[in-house]
């Protein structure tokens, strides 16, 4: 069956491309067409047919237009909106972008499955409306955490068509995972820009990392999880220049796993970096900028977490001391959490395949040339 797969793919975000990799690997019997920000790169990387997302904005309209996207959608029997924290209004454009993609799915009259998605925060009325417009159309929905489920219930989405699972990237967990020899005093660091706090983060982590370097002869590997838009280099370049270390842009999620599996410690602010640290049982000092980071860690690992609004040099030093004392305890908790989340993420596969079996042939009428009655 030919299935359209829409998400934040091809946007140089290692976490979102990990979701794409997980979905493609988990459903080899379907022929996917990936709607991507950079189709040629997605095709080259994943060896899958890829076309542009439906453009929203003059630049994307001028660069790619609608023709190839519309033609690809005509050939699909169903569509998956796949994974990631797509609907959140920290950046309201995201809600417009993904609701716009679903608009074309609705216009075509194709069945929609929402796969392992994260929802929220949604603080604005327009953000909530756009999310409801997109998600309510779906026939089947899996969400990656309970908070996302609760937000959708509050928006009036039917709970009977939703299931709580976990992020699809957890299905990439190697089985069995063979732990490698850790490089002593090696810290892998992943930070991201955030709401005008970049300079504060740079200054704070400069002091913290220089102290680690002085007291523990620490070596640093800085990881950029995203290279355009909110690119991590805004934080990491000046930080690496101040404290020294290697700056690495992993080729893919597997490369990130390889790097983390050899580190003694990790310090992370990116969601999928946190997931990778859990998967590799790497003792992590997590900085939570969003409820999704808190959710993915679970109760056992919550004591090691620092909320971004509470971040200070003392908090970092105290958390690092706790992590050093409870090093093996953290690794046990991380292994348990990663295995639990992998099992939950595997339910995405089952729910989608069960849903796919129920599909009937879509109407022959070319709805792309008609005014959609359900959009009035």
Q: What's the pLDDT score for residue 366?
A: 46
Q: Is residue 97 part of a domain?
A: yes
Residue 178: per-residue pLDDT: 78
From first to last of its 376 residues, the chain has per-residue pLDDT tens of 899 999 999 999 999 999 999 999 999 999 999 999 999 999 999 999 999 999 987 666 667 779 999 999 999 999 999 988 999 988 889 999 999 999 999 999 999 999 999 999 999 999 999 999 999 999 999 999 999 999 999 999 999 999 999 999 999 987 777 787 899 999 999 999 998 899 999 999 999 999 999 999 999 999 999 977 668 999 999 999 999 999 999 999 999 999 999 999 999 999 999 999 999 999 999 999 999 999 999 999 999 999 999 999 999 999 999 999 999 999 999 999 999 999 999 999 999 999 999 985 444 444 444 444 444 4
Residue 178 lies in a domain: no
pLDDT at position 137 is 98
**pLDDT, position 58:** 66
Residues 332 and 346 occupy one common structural domain: no
Q: Both 201 and 52 in a single domain?
A: no
Task: Identify whether residues 288 and 370 lie together within a single domain.
Answer: no
Please check whether residue 111 lies inside any domain of the structure. Answer: yes
Q: Give the C-alpha separation, 105 to 367, whole Å.
A: 10
Token pair belonging to 34: 């990936």
161 and 226: one domain? no
Same domain membership, residue 157 and residue 80: yes
So what's the pLDDT on residue 149? 97
Looking at the structure, tell me whether residues 112 and 252 fall in a common domain: no
Are 103 and 97 contacting, i.e. CB atoms less than 8 angstroms apart?
Answer: no
CB 359 within 8 A of CB 78: yes
pLDDT at 365: 45
Look at residue 4 and give its three-state secondary structure: strand
The answer to whether residue 350 is domain-embedded is yes
- For 1, 193, 225, 236, 240, the CA distances from 190, given in Å and listed in that order, are 39, 11, 7, 8, 11
Domain hosting 322: range is 183-337
In a domain, 351, yes or no: yes
b/e per residue 56-70 (b: at least 16 CB within 10 A): beeeeeeebeeeebb
- Alpha carbon distances (Å) from 295 to 44, 146, 210, 298: 33, 8, 30, 6
Q: How many domains does the chain have?
A: 2
Both 56 and 34 in a single domain? Answer: yes
Residue 165 and residue 38 in one domain:
yes
Same domain, 300 and 353: no
- Domain assignment present for residue 154? The answer is yes
Both tokens of residue 85?
A: 């924290």
At 126, which CATH number?
3.40.50.2000
pLDDT for residue 376: 40
For 14: left if phi > 0, alpha if psi spans -120 to 50, otherwise beta; the answer is alpha
**DSSP code per residue over 208-246:** HHHHHHHHH--EEEEE-SB-SSS-THHHHHHHHHHH--E
Domain-embedded: residue 256: yes
Sign of the torsion formed by the C-alpha atoms of 37, 38, 42 and 48: positive
Residue count (the chain): 376
Residues 56 and 137 reside in one and the same domain: yes
Nearest to 269 by CA among 287, 249, 294, 250: 287
> According to the model, what pLDDT value does residue 167 have?
98
What pLDDT is attached to residue 360?
53
Q: Is 177 part of any domain?
A: no
């Amino acid at each position: 069956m030919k299935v359209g797969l829409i998400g934040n793919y091809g946007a140089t975000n290692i976490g979102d491309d990990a979701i794409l990799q997980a979905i493609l690997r988990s459903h080899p019997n379907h022929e996917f067409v990936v709607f991507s920000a950079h189709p040629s790169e997605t095709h080259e990387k994943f060896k899958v047919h890829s076309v542009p997302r439906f453009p929203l904005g003059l630049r994307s309209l001028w660069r790619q237009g609608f023709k190839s996207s519309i033609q690809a959608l005509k050939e699909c029997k169903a569509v998956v909106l796949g994974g990631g924290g797509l609907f959140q209004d920290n950046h309201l454009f995201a809600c417009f972008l993904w609701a716009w993609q679903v608009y074309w799915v609705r216009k075509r009259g194709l069945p929609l499955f929402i796969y392992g998605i994260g929802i929220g925060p949604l603080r604005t009325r327009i953000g909530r409306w756009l999310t409801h417009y997109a998600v309510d159309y779906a026939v089947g929905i899996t969400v990656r955490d309970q908070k996302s489920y609760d937000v959708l219930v509050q928006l009036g989405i039917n709970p009977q068509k939703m299931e709580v699972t976990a992020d699809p990237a957890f299905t990439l967990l190697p089985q069995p995972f063979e732990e490698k020899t850790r490089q002593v005093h090696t810290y892998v660091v992943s930070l991201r820009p955030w709401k005008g706090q970049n300079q504060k983060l740079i200054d704070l982590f400069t002091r913290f990392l220089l102290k680690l370097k002085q007291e523990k002869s620490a070596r640093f590997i800085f990881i950029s999880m995203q290279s355009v838009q909110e690119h991590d280099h805004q934080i990491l370049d000046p930080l690496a220049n101040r404290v020294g270390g290697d700056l690495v842009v992993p080729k893919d999620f597997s490369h990130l796993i390889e790097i983390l599996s050899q580190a003694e410690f990790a310090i992370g602010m990116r969601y999928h970096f946190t997931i990778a640290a859990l998967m590799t049982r790497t003792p992590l000092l997590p900085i939570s900028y969003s409820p999704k980071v808190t959710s993915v860690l679970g109760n056992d690992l919550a004591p090691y977490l620092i909320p971004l609004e509470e971040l200070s040099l003392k908090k970092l030093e105290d958390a690092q001391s706790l992590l050093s004392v409870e090093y093996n305890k953290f690794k046990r908790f991380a292994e348990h959490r990663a295995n639990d989340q992998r099992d939950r993420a595997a339910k995405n596969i089952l729910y989608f395949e069960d849903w796919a079996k129920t599909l009937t042939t879509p109407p022959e009428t070319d709805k792309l040339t008609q005014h959609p009655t359900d959009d009035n």
